[in-house]
């Protein structure tokens, strides 16, 4: 079967915000300590940050970096981690001691080095409204009040002007320290927003939400007028207690209706006439949840070998295959198509755990998902345009829950650039074994076609310290002609540029 792809570059659906390619970092396992922040590393710069990790992050032009959590933030008190006297504390979310050597000033120094926007998530678990607004004072006021003066005393005369702030993390969940009811959440968020906006009216605020009508109605009725964003999280392959990862085909089943949460929240925002005011921040997402057994449970592990040591399994690079890459590309394509309502997304996390970068003492590994971000950030256009195919091939998959499903094999996204001529297509072949023939059945300006992509020899290809099975290939296809044919490799992510 040959797929005929049609494009109308005169019909645009909008310009995507580069913040949909954002990332996230939390005080969990090796993401910060022994990760991006490692003063003892041979790669450390004068501030303790690993230059090899930062260079990799710069290549994918990280636009925004969410911190410090995640579940961590709901028992985190920022004041203990600024200034010369740092107070170590026991992190009750992850049950480890945090030395507090990486705090607000270090995080903002990292963002400056990366040239990315900071995005601070506040403690709405054990924290107070005043603690949240004090944090904004420290970061954003010029000199007024004790906290701006404290920042200046700590060597930072100019305000950081942090624009993006979130009230809380997943405070709707029983696993979160300081979980709230829907009614409690709406009121708390309103009062927090009032205080934060009184400190700095130019901040943009988000608040924890999910695809739940009762929760969101309470939140939006109470404080919709204060919010600029509504925050949602999703992990599809949930493996917190048992690291039984979905197979390639099971992961493909997760790509069916991958943006269902966006659709549900879009509908609610439209019904409440807030869709022109509030955008969606999909500010924590990944195919697979993090593996951390016997912690977010009623009966917790007692011996560290039962709850702490198992987290090392997140560092097994063989887990991050073309399944992760194809899923990640499918998600990013969906967010591009929803550019009118989704303005931010943050891959969780960027380094180690399920991150797209893995670090070890002698260097880094770029996992398959890293190359997806490289493709989408550096090779796609920024304006979404109309694309269609008369008929797409389908494949049969079995969901992890045992349900047999039918799904389209190819995902198609069409883009152009706002500052130069040309078209770039993102074409994802989800089939594990079969290539897919496509025909570019349209006219296009430009006389050169380039093909960039990743596939790997098998669906289970991965990168590790001693192997590099997933890398970006490049092929020059010559001058563009209408009805040009391209054969997509199995389990592949592809960018076709016509420029």
pLDDT computed for residue 290 by the predictor: 98
Q: Exposure string (b/e) for 253-265, b if CB count within 10 Å is 16 or more?
A: bbbeebbebbebb
| Mean per-residue pLDDT, 81-95 | 96
CATH topology assigned to domain 16-379: TIM Barrel (3.20.20)
Sign of torsion over alpha carbons 179, 181, 185, 187 = negative
Q: Is residue 28 very low, low, confident or very high in pLDDT (cuts 50, 70, 90)?
A: very high
| Rounded-to-integer distance, Cα 192 and Cα 132, Å | 7
Q: What percent of the chain has pLDDT over 90?
A: 97
Cβ pair 456, 322 in contact under 8 A: yes
- Mapping DSSP onto H, E and C, the string for 217-269 reads HHHHHHHCCCCCEEEEEEEEECCCCCCCCCCHHHHHHHCCCCCHHHHHHHHHH
Q: Give per-residue pLDDT as tens, 192-226.
A: 999 999 999 999 999 999 989 999 999 999 999 99
For the chain, domain boundaries: 2-11+384-498, 16-379
Cβ pair 111, 127 in contact under 8 A: no
The DSSP secondary structure of 195-221, one letter per residue, reads: HHHHH-TT-EEEEB--S-HHHHHHHHH
pLDDT computed for residue 18 by the predictor: 98
Q: Which residues pair with 284 in a beta bridge?
A: 233
Q: Is residue 439 very low, low, confident or very high in pLDDT (cuts 50, 70, 90)?
A: very high
| Rounded-to-integer distance, Cα 335 and Cα 345, Å | 8
pLDDT computed for residue 9 by the predictor: 92
Structure tokens at 26: 């939390």
pLDDT computed for residue 447 by the predictor: 82
pLDDT computed for residue 269 by the predictor: 96
pLDDT computed for residue 155 by the predictor: 97
Enzyme catalytic residues: 170, 284
2-11+384-498 matches 16-379 in fold: no
Picking from 56, 42, 45, the residue whose alpha carbon sits closest to that of residue 352 is 56
| Mean per-residue pLDDT, 71-97 | 97
Q: What percent of the chain has pLDDT over 70?
A: 100
CATH topology assigned to domain 2-11+384-498: Immunoglobulin-like (2.60.40)
DSSP assigned state of 341? T
pLDDT, the chain, mean: 97
Q: Give per-residue pLDDT as tens, 474-494.
A: 999 999 998 899 999 999 999
| Mean per-residue pLDDT, 172-176 | 96
Cβ pair 374, 362 in contact under 8 A: no
pLDDT computed for residue 443 by the predictor: 84
The CA–CA distances, whole Å, from 315 to 54, 320, 439 equal 19, 10, 40
pLDDT computed for residue 438 by the predictor: 97
Q: Is residue 444 very low, low, confident or very high in pLDDT (cuts 50, 70, 90)?
A: confident
pTM for the structure as a whole: 0.97
Q: Give per-residue pLDDT as tens, 322-372.
A: 999 999 999 999 999 999 999 999 999 999 999 999 999 999 999 999 999
């Amino acid at each position: 079967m040959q797929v005929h792809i049609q494009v109308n570059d005169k019909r645009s659906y909008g310009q995507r915000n580069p913040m949909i390619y954002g990332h996230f970092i939390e005080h969990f396992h090796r993401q910060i300590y022994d990760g991006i922040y490692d003063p003892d590393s041979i790669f450390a710069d004068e501030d303790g940050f690993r230059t090899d990790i930062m260079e990799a992050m710069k290549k994918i032009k990280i636009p925004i970096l969410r911190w410090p959590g995640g579940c961590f933030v709901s028992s985190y008190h920022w004041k203990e981690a600024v200034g010369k006297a740092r107070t170590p504390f026991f992190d009750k979310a992850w049950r480890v001691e945090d030395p507090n050597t990486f705090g607000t000033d270090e995080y903002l120094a990292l963002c400056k080095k990366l040239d990315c926007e900071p995005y601070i998530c506040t403690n709405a678990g054990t924290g107070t409204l005043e603690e949240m607004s004090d944090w904004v004072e420290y970061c954003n006021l010029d000199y007024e009040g004790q906290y701006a003066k404290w920042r200046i005393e700590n060597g930072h005369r100019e305000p950081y002007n942090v624009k993006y702030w979130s009230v809380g993390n997943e405070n709707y969940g029983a696993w979160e320290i300081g979980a709230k009811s829907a009614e409690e959440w709406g009121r708390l968020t309103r009062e927090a927003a009032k205080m934060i906006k009184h400190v700095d009216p130019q901040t943009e605020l988000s608040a924890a939400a999910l695809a739940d009508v009762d929760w969101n109605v309470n939140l939006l009725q109470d404080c919709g007028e204060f919010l600029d964003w509504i925050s949602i999280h999703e992990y599809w392959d949930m493996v917190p207690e048992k690291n039984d990862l979905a197979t390639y085909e099971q992961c493909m089943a997760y790509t069916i209706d991958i943006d269902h949460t966006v659709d549900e929240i879009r509908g609610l925002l439209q019904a409440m006439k807030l869709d022109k005011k509030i955008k969606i921040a999909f500010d924590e997402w990944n195919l697979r949840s993090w593996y951390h057994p016997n912690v977010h449970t009623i009966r917790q592990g007692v011996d560290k070998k039962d709850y702490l040591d198992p987290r090392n399994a997140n560092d097994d690079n063989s887990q991050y295959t073309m399944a992760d890459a194809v899923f990640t590309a499918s998600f990013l394509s969906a967010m591009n198509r929803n550019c009118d309502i989704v303005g931010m997304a943050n891959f969780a996390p960027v380094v180690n755990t399920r991150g797209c970068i893995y670090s070890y003492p002698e260097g880094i590994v770029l996992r398959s998902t890293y190359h997806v971000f490289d493709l989408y950030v550096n090779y796609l256009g920024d304006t979404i345009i109309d694309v269609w195919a008369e008929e797409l091939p389908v494949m049969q998959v079995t969901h992890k829950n045992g349900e047999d499903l039918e799904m389209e094999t190819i995902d198609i996204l069409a883009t152009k650039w706002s500052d130069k001529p040309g078209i770039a297509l993102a074409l994802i072949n989800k089939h594990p074994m079969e290539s897919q023939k496509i025909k570019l059945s349209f006219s296009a300006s430009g006389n050169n076609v380039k093909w960039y992509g990743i596939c790997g020899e098998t669906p289970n290809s991965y990168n590790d310290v001693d192997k590099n099975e997933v890398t970006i290939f490049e092929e020059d296809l010559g001058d563009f002609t209408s009805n040009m044919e391209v054969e997509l490799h199995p389990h592949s992510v592809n960018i076709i540029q016509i420029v």
